[in-house]
Amino acid sequence: MAGTFVDRDLGDMVFGGNLPPMGFRVDGTAQLYLYRHRVNLLSAGVALWASAAGSAIHVREGWPSTLAARAVAGATIDGWAE
C-alpha cells in the first residue's frame, strides 16, 4: 500500500468489544508492505498489529508515529528496502 493515510479509527471498544483503535492489522499468514504510510489515531491506538504467527507487516519511509506496534510470537514487523 503506497501513501495510505489512516485517521480516526475507533476500534470496537466503543461498542463494548476488546479491539483498540488501529491503523493496519494482518492475520493468518498475510504479508503487508507499506510505503510512505501515515497513522493518526487516539493515543490508546495501535499503529501496526501483526496478530498471528506467520503474519508480517513490512514498512518503508513511514511517517513517524508515537503509537505502539504489536507483533505476537512468530509474527514480524520490520523494515524493507528496494
Q: Indicate if the pLDDT at residue 44 is higher than 90.
A: no
List Cβ neighbours of 75 (8 Å cut-off, separation of 6 or more): 26, 50, 51, 52, 53, 54, 55, 56
Q: Indicate if the pLDDT at residue 82 is higher than 80.
A: no
Q: pLDDT grade, residue 71 (50/70/90)?
A: very high
* CA pair distance 38, 31, nearest whole angstrom: 18
What amino acid occupies position 39?
V
Q: What Å distances lie between residue 38 and 9, 12, 42, 71, CA to CA?
A: 13, 21, 13, 19
Q: Indicate if the pLDDT at residue 13 is higher than 90.
A: no
Q: pLDDT grade, residue 30 (50/70/90)?
A: very high
Q: How many domains does the chain have?
A: 1
Residue span of the structural domain in which 34 resides: 5-79
Q: What pLDDT shows up at residue 42?
A: 82
Q: Indicate if the pLDDT at residue 3 is higher than 80.
A: yes
